[in-house]
Amino acid sequence: MSKWKIDTLSRPGTAAQEGEDPSQVYQRLISNDRVAAPSHIATSLPADNGTDGPPKARYIDPTFHRIEMERLWPRVWQFACREEEIPEVGDLVVYDIGDISHIVVRTAPDEIRAYRNACLHRGTRLCQEDTSLQQLRCPFHGFTWSLEGELTEVPCRWDFPQIDRADMRLPQARVECWGGFVFINMDGNAPPLNEYLGVLDSNLPGENFANKYIAHYIRKVLPANWKACIEAFLEAYHSVETHSWSMGFTNDANAQYDVFPDTPHVSRFMHAFGVQSPHLDRELSEQEVLEELFSIFWSGEPAPTLPPGEKARGFAADLVRQQRSEAMGRDYSQVSDAEALDSIEYSIFPNMVLFHGLAVPVVYRFRPNGNDPDSCIFDLFMLLEYPEGSPRPDPAEVFEMGDMTYRELTEKLGFDAFFGITYDQDTGNLGLQQQGMKSLESDTLIFARYQECRLRHFHEMITRYVAMAPE
């Protein structure tokens, strides 16, 4: 529902026109900002990757899921947990992808390992849940491993003449950390994590995340393939139809999309807030844009009257900088308008999404739900700073939403209403898409040339991995 009249063609002069480079529109907009954006934001990259769309079988065919499990997931860096979830030696998280499970455990104050979660005797899962242990003991017959992965106990040892303790170490995946995130990779030949992340750390330094804590950790099973689910968050093209209520304060159709030529595992979009959509059929006053922003970001508060000549975007950016500085006892006065307000989103292939900036402190992870190609585990982390000088708060434990809507969650947690409305709108499409793809007559989907170029790039990466021989 929208109180605005929407024109899906965009008013002339307000959006990229045919033949124009659409990435320049966001750049033009931020060039007028009060606190200028840093160089990595004040730049655009060529994102011309054609017009192809992916085969729909990639989303619905169990065979394609099996191929991904054999060829893709064993080779990519995956965000398994946050370091603060396992602060003490022996703390562990069970991380599952499809049928494959790892125990991600702190084995020393500065060491984290990831062991395959399977007993070497007859295969029983060693750990069923996140916990803290000083040894890993199989619940079936009691084979036991130390935190270092050495076999330490075999009941009736005399009956196993064929096993050599040296050969019975628990198999490990590689573990590397960035920004407080613990990543694992099962492939000994994969590039190191810093090479895989490439340009990301210079654009979005890991320290931005290392000093935060998990304020909320929310899990919901979504009724669509994991790729359809992440793709719904890689473009702002859906905003005009799905989030029409946001058209008064977001510049949806002028979002910038970047694919990094030297960092194929990372892409991003930058979507301006504090500016109206080009889809509205008339130009709003700056006061109206501010009122729209206040109705969402400062819900319930009446918007102040803008001084003459003042723009909604600059005013709102100042307010965000000031309020966050006061709340956190830190100085955010030099954070650019773009970083204060905009939705600047990076993705790390294959399944992680991170936001840059003050307004949207969330991280997403999308995983197949076991071996079901029709559903996905969606983990939403809200990572927050804490006041300078205060101890780091304990991280939130995972909250399983079950059938609860995001709107109901919003009420339970006391978040602003727009949080629940937005995620219900985003996730509400997914089951329809998954069902619809099965009756779609065509074998392929269609992607927009520019606004869905990140999705096309994502599929180029999928193609690259599934073309490899099975592990």
Interface residue list for ligand FES (CB under 6 A): 119, 121-122, 124, 138, 140-143
Shortest CB 357 distance to Fe ion, Å: 17
Residue 122 or 392: the one with the smaller Cβ distance to ligand FES is 122
CB of 255 to Fe ion, least distance (A): 11
Extract the tokens encoding 441.
């007559």
The single residue among 426, 445, 451, 456 that binds Fe ion, judged by CB under 5 A, is 426
**Which backbone phi and psi does 405 adopt, to 5 degrees?**
-85, 165
The helix-helix angle for 286-297 and 312-328 (nearest 10°) equals 30
- Please say which residue, 7 or 150, places its beta carbon nearer to ligand FES: 150
Considering only the stretches 90-98, 167-175, 268-276, 424-432, report the one whose residues sit in contact with Fe ion under the rule CB under 5 A.
424-432
| Residue 235 binding Fe ion, by CB under 5 A | no
CB 447 within 8 A of CB 52: yes
Determine, following the binding rule CB under 5 A, whether residue 231 of this chain makes contact with Fe ion.
Answer: no
CA–CA separation, 369 and 184 (whole Å): 18
Query: Rounded to whole angstroms, how far apart are CA atoms 345 and 232?
Result: 13
Rounded least distance, CB 141 to ligand FES, Å: 3
Residue 119 touches which member of ligand FES, Fe ion, none, C-beta under 5-8 Å by kind:
ligand FES
Give the integer Cα–Cα distance in Å for 80 and 95. 6
Cβ 122 to ligand FES, closest distance in Å?
4
- From the list ligand FES, Fe ion, none, pick the one residue 160 interacts with, judged by a Cβ distance below 5 to 8 Å according to partner type: none
Question: Which one of Fe ion, ligand FES, none interacts with residue 392, CB within 5 to 8 A by kind?
Answer: none
Among positions 70-109, residues that touch Fe ion (CB under 5 A) are none
* Sheet bearing 144-146, strands edge to edge: 135-137, 144-146, 151-153
Laid out side by side, the sheet with 78-82 consists of 78-82, 181-185, 172-178, 111-116, 100-108, 91-97, 131-132
Burial tier of 201 (Cβ tally within 10 Å: 0-12, 13-18, 19+): middle
Q: Please answer whether residues 251 and 184 qualify as being in contact, where contact means their C-beta atoms are separated by less than 8 angstroms.
A: no
Smallest CA-to-CA distance from 268 within 276, 277, 260 is with: 260
Q: How many residues bind Fe ion (CB under 5 A)?
A: 1
| C-beta closer to ligand FES: residue 121 or 219 | 121
Find the shortest distance in angstroms from Cβ 143 to ligand FES: 4
CA distances from 148 to 102, 105, 134, 320 (A): 15, 10, 10, 47
Burial class (CB in 10 A: 0-12, 13-18, 19+), 429: middle
Task: List the single partner that 143 binds among Fe ion, ligand FES, none, CB under 5 to 8 Å by kind.
Answer: ligand FES
Q: Are 462 and 350 in contact, with CB atoms under 8 Å apart?
A: yes
Region near Fe ion per CB under 5 A, out of 156-164, 277-285, 368-376, 420-428: 420-428
CB 279, min distance to Fe ion, A: 15
Tokens of 402: 């079950």
- Stretch touching Fe ion by CB under 5 A, among 193-201, 336-344, 397-405, 423-431: 423-431
| CA–CA separation, 281 and 278 (whole Å) | 8
CB of residue 392 to Fe ion, shortest distance in Å: 31
Q: Which stretch binds Fe ion (CB under 5 A): 59-67, 76-84, 152-160, 419-427?
A: 419-427
**Nearer to ligand FES among residue 60 and residue 170 (C-beta):** 170
Amino acid at the residue 374: D
Q: Which is nearer to ligand FES, 155 or 304 (CB)?
A: 155
CB of 275 to Fe ion, least distance (A): 17
CB of 170 to ligand FES, least distance (A): 12
With beta carbons less than 8 A apart as the criterion, state whether 251 and 277 touch: yes
Q: Which is nearer to ligand FES, 47 or 170 (CB)?
A: 170
Question: Out of Fe ion, ligand FES, none, which partner does residue 426 contact, by CB within 5 to 8 A per kind?
Answer: Fe ion
Instruction: Collect all residues with Cβ–Cβ distance below 8 Å to 460 and sequence separation of at least 6.
Output: 49, 264
Q: With binding defined as CB under 5 A, does residue 339 bind Fe ion?
A: no
Report in angstroms how near the CB of residue 234 gets to Fe ion at its nearest. Answer: 10
Q: Which does 142 bind (CB under 5 to 8 A by kind): ligand FES, Fe ion, none?
A: ligand FES
- Name the residue nearer to ligand FES (CB basis): 19 or 123: 123
CB count, 10 Å around CB of 47?
Answer: 23
Estimate to the nearest angstrom the gap between the alpha carbon of 55 and the chain centroid: 24
Based on the shown chain and the rule CB under 5 A, indicate whether residue 252 belongs to the binding site for Fe ion. no
Identify any residues that bridge with 11 across adjacent strands, giving them in sequence order.
Answer: none
Stretch that binds Fe ion, among 290-298, 315-323, 425-433, 461-469 (CB under 5 A): 425-433
Contact 453, 260 (CB under 8 A): no
- Measured from the CB of residue 91, what is the shortest distance to ligand FES in angstroms? 22
Helix orientation angle between 417-428 and 430-439, rounded to the nearest 10 degrees: 10
**Residue ranges binding Fe ion (CB under 5 A):** 426
